[in-house]
């Protein structure tokens, strides 16, 4: 049994397939006997003037209070003059690092069987923060670099590769690299190298096995982490956690609301389940996280209950039940 005790966490079920996969993951966590109390939060249908977003002040306060949470995908209406829901959460809560582990799943064949990497993405600044032409700051660059090296050390990873385009984006990416180098100097046991983003894409599809931890500014991280998901079988599989100041951690499936399959009991809950495992590890429930993760991977490896995105015909509920039956 885990040494960690009872805790409370925010749950945003989200839109589209969000409520279905959230319910599946809640069932898995309950079956694994994790003593969690969920504070379920829903996004508004109208803009909250206090946040200039449909994310309300109460939504934000819930995460600040519990410090940890899990988030399903959210549909952001395009171009209506207010901030994206995800951007609001990341900026207002200062969730400055997005961490996405990506590894080949045993028994699920793709073109690659040697993927075992983690992307660490700056989550609050840069071209992708909603303010076009804003350059990244020293503060944001240094703290995400610190996070990546500490993560590498804590998780027995050997190498950190910074991804950039400093040859062209001399100001923003130049500063980012400078900060990465400063932090790298403090971690002599971890190999540090740098790659230009276009070459990084080519190297990833040629041989993903050469990468360990990849550290990058916001926009490159958005693109490269989806590329990495493709290497191992798609967005239904890859988890992430948004980590911030004061121990904040918000687990999040990286896929969207999947409107084409919403409400049909067809979605793969794996990405959200593995995101929940990241959140559980963060609060010290390591055994429960390992238990759930191993059960999910075992069901996929066996192949009898796979959801449609993985070529099977199991429903979300069938898959969830199979995972629960596998828990030790």
Asked whether 310 and 285 are in contact (CB, 8 A), the reply is no
For strand 213-216 and strand 68-71, is the pairing parallel, antiparallel, or unpaired?
Answer: unpaired
Residue least distant from ligand NAD (Cβ): 256
Query: Please, what is the minimum distance in Å from the beta carbon of residue 266 to ligand NAD?
Result: 7
Position among 267, 274, 278, 322 found at the interface with ligand NAD (CB under 6 A): 267
Whichever of 83 and 165 has its CB closer to ligand NAD, that residue is: 83
- Measured between alpha carbons, how far is 275 from 259 in angstroms, rounded to an integer? 21
The SS3 of residue 241 is: strand
Residues forming beta bridges with residue 213, ordered by sequence position = 118, 160
Do you know the residue count of the chain?
Answer: 328
164, 215, 309, 320: which one binds ligand NAD (CB under 6 A): 309
222 counts as binding ligand NAD under rule CB under 6 A:
no
Strand partners, 71: 12, 252
Interaction mask 60-99, ligand NAD, x per CB under 6 A: -------------xxxx---------x-------------
| 216 HSE (CA, 13 A, CB side) | 27
174 belongs to the binding site for ligand NAD (CB under 6 A): no
Distance CA 105, CA 263 (A): 27
Our finding on whether 306 is near ligand NAD (CB under 6 A) is no
Residue 195: closest CA among 119, 84, 259: 119
Q: Which stretch binds ligand NAD (CB under 6 A): 49-57, 150-158, 217-225, 254-262?
A: 254-262
The phi-psi region of residue 263 (left if phi > 0; otherwise alpha if psi is between -120 and 50; otherwise beta) is left
Per-residue binding string, ligand NAD, 1-30, x by CB under 6 A, is ----------------x-------------
Instruction: State the nearest-atom distance from the C-beta of 65 to ligand NAD, in Å.
Output: 22
Interface residues toward ligand NAD, by CB under 6 A:
17, 73-76, 86, 235-236, 252, 255-261, 267-268, 271, 307, 309
């Amino acid at each position: 049994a885990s040494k960690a005790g009872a805790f409370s966490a925010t749950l945003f079920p989200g839109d589209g397939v969000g409520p279905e996969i959230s319910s599946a993951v809640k069932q898995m966590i309950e079956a694994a006997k994790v003593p969690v109390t969920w504070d379920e939060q829903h996004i508004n249908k109208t803009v909250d003037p206090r946040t200039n977003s449909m994310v309300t002040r109460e939504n934000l306060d819930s995460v600040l209070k519990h410090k940890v949470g899990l988030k399903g995908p959210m549909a952001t209406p395009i171009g209506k003059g207010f901030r994206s829901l995800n951007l609001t959460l990341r900026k207002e809560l200062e969730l400055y690092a997005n961490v996405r582990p990506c590894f080949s799943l045993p028994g699920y064949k793709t073109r690659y069987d040697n993927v075992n990497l983690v992307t660490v993405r700056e989550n609050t600044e840069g071209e992708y923060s909603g303010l076009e032409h804003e350059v990244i700051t020293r503060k944001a660059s240094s703290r995400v670099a610190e996070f990546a090296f500490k993560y590498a050390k804590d998780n027995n990873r050997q190498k950190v590769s910074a991804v950039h385009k400093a040859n062209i984006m001399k100001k923003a990416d130049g500063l980012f690299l400078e900060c990465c180098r400063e932090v790298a100097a403090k971690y002599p046991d971890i190999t540090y190298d740098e790659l230009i983003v276009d070459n990084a894409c080519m190297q990833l599809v040629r041989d993903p096995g050469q990468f360990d931890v990849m550290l990058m500014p916001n926009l490159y991280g958005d693109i490269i982490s989806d590329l990495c998901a493709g290497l191992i079988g798609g967005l239904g599989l890859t988890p992430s956690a948004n980590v911030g100041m004061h121990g904040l951690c918000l687990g999040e499936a990286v896929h969207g609301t999947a409107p084409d399959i919403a409400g049909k009991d067809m979605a793969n809950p794996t990405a959200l389940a593995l995101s929940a495992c990241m959140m559980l590890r963060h609060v010290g429930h390591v055994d429960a996280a390992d238990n759930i993760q191993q059960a999910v991977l075992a069901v996929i490896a066996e192949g009898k209950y796979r959801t449609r995105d993985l070529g099977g015909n199991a429903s979300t509920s069938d898959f969830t039940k199979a995972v629960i039956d596998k828990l030790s």
